[in-house]
Amino acid sequence: MLLSIENINVYYGRLHALRDVSLQVDRGEIVSLIGANGAGKSTALKAISGVLRPRSGTINHEGRDLAGLPPHKIARMGVAHVPEGRGVFANMTVRENLLLGAYARRSRREAEESIEKVFTLFPRLSERSAQLAGTLSGGEQQMLAIGRALVARPSLMLLDEPSMGLSPLLVGEIFNLIGEINREGTTILLVEQNAYMALSIAHRGYVLEAGGIVLSGLSADLRKDPRVQAAYLGDVGTPPPE
Amino acid sequence: MEYFVQQVINGLQIGFVYALVALGYTLVYGIVRLINFAHGDVFMVGAFIGLYAIERHHLPISAVFLAAVGGCALLAMAMERVAYRPLREAPRIASLITAIGMSLFLEYFTALHQVFGPDYYSFPRPFAVTTWEVRGITLTNIQAIIFVVTLLCLGLLQFVVYRTRTGRAMRAVSYDYVTAGLMGVNVNLVISLTFALGGALAGVGGVLYGIAYPQVNTFMGVMPGLKAFTAAVLGGIGSIPGAVLGALIMGQSETLTAAYLSSTYRDGIAFLILIAVLVWKPTGILGTARTEKV
């Protein structure tokens, strides 16, 4: 078990945002967390990466409890969080953004190697390495955000809404890349509103509703589940253009 | 014409000192969106450290600068840790009022007899003043030192902010501190270092000011602090080149007002500039409007 969350509770002030959430991610998996807007998907990722502090419960990653640690320590333990809205540093170049991804690596040479690897995965970033990140298109910014997380060579990548604001064509491209990154050995916990895409790529899934997990299982089973179909898949059978 | 050039040189002298102080306002604002009103008082502490280092300890001039740099960096870091960090998530007005309180505290606490004392003290000249004259224009070695030391500091700051890993982290925290944390950047440490950097520059400014205008008092930081703040706003607060540009403009406006109008108008015009900037171009000359983060 790479990541094991037991009964975490997270509050925004008095709002109980996550209720006794438990979930597991195995090494090598893509696990997807689906649910409606405001169900607490992003909150769960923020609790794992330390942006939010759970009031109770444990978050075990590679045998260590992350709950209560500051974000930079969690990041240095191999958890890379690609936040909703990408969070690229628009006032810095693509290369500087990638160097920040490698911030925890003291060795400049290792950082350069990781960046070169990301450039082979995303050749478009390589072409634009001297360009300010703010001038990239939405899809390129998403690639940069994912590439920046990869530079840290994380054991676990948390991806928050990678499809947000992208054209269906680009969404397909991004999801293909996510699959490729996973096949190369990175474990991924994926939060998506686009449940169809998420369940088509993930091995397993959890359904979050009003801060609590209501369903979980293999993606194939979830896709067939009538409750999931009714609530999240809508028109099943209209796959996005490939 | 000589008179005008002479005034411009004199304006550069004070403008460069303002630049060192203005940078502290702009660095801190850039990273935590706080106007640190106590920054002028850090500058004052720098001048007093310089005074003691020269008068009591007879340190060589480079050690005098180092002492002021170290002392002011520590003071600025302590201030952030004690007064501003606990209020980081509080409404902006809370830290602003705290900054004003911190400023008054430093002024009146250091005015105690057990600390620096309430009087005006003369700042010892660490070297004899020499004057060079070229075609009716004079340049003193004090001015030369101010120009050289300030330019060195500016170069060093530019290098740290744009060429080092720490500078990259500073810019990242300034842009979006939550995401910077996700990159493994220790946000608290970077904020601390930014305060230290601003304090260090103010320390250098304090010593230079003491050398150029050799009288110190615990309230001496108030006016230069406000002028440097005006300079930072004029140039575009948050912008490093803006702070320097604003400070140079302030220096010129001051000396030229004193030279061609009357020195009684000097401060009035300085603050008229502040009001004019806030009314017509609140983002300053080099500042960019940016949407405030929630």
Question: Is A131 domain-assigned?
Answer: yes
Total tally of structural domains belonging to chain B = 1
- The amino acid that residue A173 corresponds to is E
Which residue of B175, B178, B184 is in closest CB contact with A103?
B184
Q: How many angstroms away from the CA of B146 is the closest CA of chain A? A: 32
Range(s) of the domain holding residue B144 = 13-220
B172 inside domain: yes
Q: Do B178 and A87 touch (CB under 8 A)?
A: yes
CA distance A93 to chain B (A): 11
pLDDT band at B290 (very low <50, low <70, confident <90, very high): low
> Which has the minimum average pLDDT: A119-128, B128-137, B160-169, B188-197?
B128-137
User: Is residue A137 included in any domain, yes or no?
Assistant: yes
- Tell me, rounded to whole angstroms, the distance of Cα B162 from its chain centroid: 20
pLDDT in tens, A107-137: 889 899 999 999 999 999 999 999 999 999 9
Domain-embedded: residue A240: no
Q: How far is B40 from chain A (nearest CA, A)?
A: 29
pLDDT tens-digit readout, B48-90: 999 999 999 999 999 999 999 999 999 999 999 999 999 998 9
Q: Is residue B153 part of a domain?
A: yes
Q: Answer whether A101 touches B (CB < 8 Å).
A: yes
Domain tally, chain A: 1
Q: For A91, name the nearest residue in chain B, comparing CA atoms only.
A: B175
β-bridge partners, A59: A5
Burial class (CB in 10 A: 0-12, 13-18, 19+), A104: buried
A103 touches chain B (CB under 8 A): yes
Predicted pLDDT at A37: 87
Q: What residues pair up with B140 in beta bridges, in sequence order?
A: B131
**For residue range A144-203, what is the model confidence (pLDDT) as tens digits?**
999 999 999 999 999 999 999 899 999 999 999 999 999 999 999 999 988 989 999 999
User: B266 in a domain, yes or no?
Assistant: no
Instruction: With respect to residue A239, please indicate whether it lies within any of the assigned structural domains.
Output: no
**CATH number for position A96:** 3.40.50.300
Contact status of A87 with chain B (Cβ, < 8 Å): yes
Residue A72 and residue B175: Cβ atoms within 8 Å? no
ipTM, two decimals? 0.92
CA distance B274 to B253: 12
pLDDT digits (tens, 9 = 90+) for B212-229: 999 999 999 999 999 999
Q: 3-class SS at A29?
A: coil
Q: Which domain range does residue A41 map to?
A: 3-233
CA angle A220, A223, A229 (to 5 degrees): 170
Q: Taking 90 as the threshold, does the pLDDT of residue A94 lie above it?
A: yes
Considering the domain boundaries, does residue A242 fall inside one? no
Angle at B130 between CA B128 and CA B136, to 5 degrees: 160
In a domain, A223, yes or no: yes
Specify whether the CB–CB gap between B107 and B200 falls below 8 A. Answer: no
Q: Do B182 and A101 touch (CB under 8 A)?
A: no
- Exposure string (b/e) for B90-99, b if CB count within 10 Å is 16 or more? eeeeebeebb
Fill in the DSSP letter of residue A148: H
> HEC states along chain B?
CHHHHHHHHHHHHHHHHHHHHHHHHHHHHHHHCCCCCCHHHHHHHHHHHHHHHHHCCCCCHHHHHHHHHHHHHHHHHHHHHHHHHHHCCCCHHHHHHHHHHHHHHHHHHHCCCCCCCCCCEECCCCCCCCEEEECCEEEEHHHHHHHHHHHHHHHHHHHHHHHCHHHHHHHHHHHCHHHHHHCCCCHHHHHHHHHHHHHHHHHHHHHHHHHHCCEECCCCCHHHHHHHHHHHHHHCCCCHHHHHHHHHHHHHHHHHHHHHCCHHHHHHHHHHHHHHHHHHCCCCCCCCCCCCCC
Q: How far is A91 from chain B (nearest CA, A)?
A: 8
